[in-house]
């Protein structure tokens, strides 16, 4: 445990940031799962709409550097390819 006041404050701040980042990461995973569920059901129109919303969430979280921009891009690419491959 920290003894110096500035170290105590840094520990408090990092705990708040960790909780916030965890919730954003969860939001990202949920958005991806929603698209995958729509793909599994086979509703291409719904999947396209959900993909559009998920893309916004993915970009926002990448802009905040919660996940790396390449990881975000990879998720978007794979999801859009999966939606496009639906018959």
pTM of the model: 0.86
Q: What is the pLDDT of residue 87?
A: 73
Domain locations along the chain: 5-84
pLDDT in tens, the chain (87 residues): 789 999 999 999 999 999 999 999 999 999 999 999 999 999 999 999 999 999 999 999 999 999 999 999 999 999 999 999 997
Q: DSSP characters for the chain?
A: ---SHHHHHHHHHHHHHHHHHHHHHHHHHHHHHHHHHHHHHT-HHHHHHHHHHHHHHHHHHHHTTSS-HHHHHHHHHHHHHHHHT--
5-84 topology per CATH? Methane Monooxygenase Hydroxylase; Chain G, domain 1 (1.20.58)
């Amino acid at each position: 445990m920290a003894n110096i006041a500035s170290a105590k404050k840094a520990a408090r701040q990092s705990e708040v940031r960790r909780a916030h980042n965890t919730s954003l990461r969860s939001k990202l995973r949920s958005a991806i799962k929603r698209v995958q569920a729509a793909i599994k059901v086979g509703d291409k129109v719904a999947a396209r709409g959900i993909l559009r919303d998920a893309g916004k969430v993915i970009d926002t979280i990448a802009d905040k550097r919660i996940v790396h921009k390449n990881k975000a891009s990879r998720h978007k690419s794979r999801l859009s390819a999966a939606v496009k491959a639906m018959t």
